[in-house]
Amino acid sequence: MLWLFPQQCHCGMRKSFFMKTTNNTILMTGGTSGIGRALAETWHRAGNKVIVAGRRTSLIEEVVAANPGMSGYPLDVEDQVAIQDFATRITADYPELNVVVLNAGIMVAEDLKGDEWLEIAERIVNTNLLAPMRMTAALLPHLRRADDAVIVTVSSGLAFVPLALTPTYSATKAAIHSWSLSLRHKLKDQGIEVIELVPPAVQTDLMPGHKNNPNILPLNDFVDEVMSLFAQTPTPAEITVQRVMFQRAAEREGRFESAFNTVNQPR
């Protein structure tokens, strides 16, 4: 890891930092589809060892078969015990593991008039917030010993301007943003960098209708821009493609209310 001059940025105080773009060993949770799979495959092609994890074993097999040299493991991040067992196994199998991308997530609409929303909300908190915390706790002892260690969290534009259709999803992503700021601050002296990926709406299967919505950023365009940001020196503390700045910068540009109304306008 290469440190330059002390420097501050608006997104969490830290010294300048370069994440390697090649020769990392990267664990991607939620690597079976969407953003996780696309980033995993791109990092794999760029000369990194990539390990994908997810529940759908048929997709794990498909991703690994399509990318010789990649590895895949079944994992349900809703299962707290499974996370600990997985961390023990993965660090034994890959002692050179140095990058963890906490990407697995779910987004489910909540009908506050119905009976099911609390159960849905608890699942979302478990998957999107508690699981990244549990995975981080399980891997921290390993990452403290690793060279060039990086934790990549995945928040959302909805962390900054919530979508009322998905209140708990938006809240978990706001929590991930806040947690990332503190984690970055606390881990910087332990040789672990924290980078927050802040996607806007991207064409994936995260929600019904997302993948074919022409108003949403195509996955390939998103991944290309993300990779160009990861290639910058120093590596940005937040990976924010242009499209997400509508939400990311709304508060500081004094247009939060109009952005909220735009995001939540009846469709």
Decide if 94 is catalytic: no
Residue 105: CB minimum distance to ligand NAP, A: 2
Does the protein bind ligand NAP through residue 40 (CB under 6 A)?
A: no
Residues numbered 228-267 forming contacts with ligand NAP, rule: CB under 6 A: none
CA distance 42 to 63: 12
- For residue 103, state whether it binds ligand NAP (rule: CB under 6 A): yes
**Taking CB under 6 A as the rule, does residue 162 contact ligand NAP?**
no
If the CB atoms of residues 154 and 195 are measured against ligand NAP, the closer one turns out to be 154
Decide if residue 33 touches ligand NAP (CB under 6 A): yes
59 binds ligand NAP (CB under 6 A): yes
| Position among 26, 35, 139, 259 found at the interface with ligand NAP (CB under 6 A) | 35
Tokens 């390697």 correspond to 20
Q: Which of 247, 232, 243, 250 has its CA nearest to residue 195? A: 232
What type of residue sits at position 80?
Answer: Q
User: How many chain residues are in contact with ligand NAP, going by CB under 6 A?
Assistant: 31
3-state secondary structure of 28: strand
Please say which residue, 59 or 133, places its beta carbon nearer to ligand NAP: 59
- Cα maximum dimension of the chain: 54
52 contacts 72 by C-beta, under 8 angstroms: yes
What is the rounded distance in angstroms from the CA atom of residue 179 to the CA atom of residue 183?
A: 6
36 near ligand NAP, rule: CB under 6 A:
yes
d(CA 155, CA 102): 10
Nearest CB to ligand NAP, comparing residues 33 and 136 = 33
DSSP 209-255: TSTT-TTSBPHHHHHHHHHHHHTSSSPPSEE--GGGHHHHTTTTTT-
Q: Which is nearer to ligand NAP, 187 or 226 (CB)?
A: 226
Give the span between the Cα atoms of 162 and 7, in whole angstroms: 31
For residue 132, state whether it binds ligand NAP (rule: CB under 6 A): no
The Cβ of residue 8 has, within 10 Å, a number of other Cβ atoms equal to 9
| Binds ligand NAP (CB under 6 A): choice among 122, 205, 253, 257 | 205
Question: Which structure tokens are listed for 167?
Answer: 């209140």
Closest approach of ligand NAP to the CB of residue 161, in Å: 12
Query: Quick one: which of 13, 15, 16, 55 contacts ligand NAP (CB under 6 A)?
Result: 55
Nearer to ligand NAP (CB atom), residue 132 or residue 148: 132
Angstrom CA distances, 180 to 81, 118, 177, stand at 23, 26, 5
Select 138 or 148, whichever has its Cβ closest to ligand NAP: 138
CB of 28 to ligand NAP, least distance (A): 9
Catalytic position from the list 17, 43, 160, 169: 169
**Are the C-beta atoms of residues 170 and 163 closer than 8 Å to each other?**
yes
**Interacting residue ranges for ligand NAP, rule: CB under 6 A:** 29-36, 54-56, 59, 75-78, 103-107, 127, 154, 156, 199, 201-202, 204-206, 210
Catalytic sites, residue numbers? 169
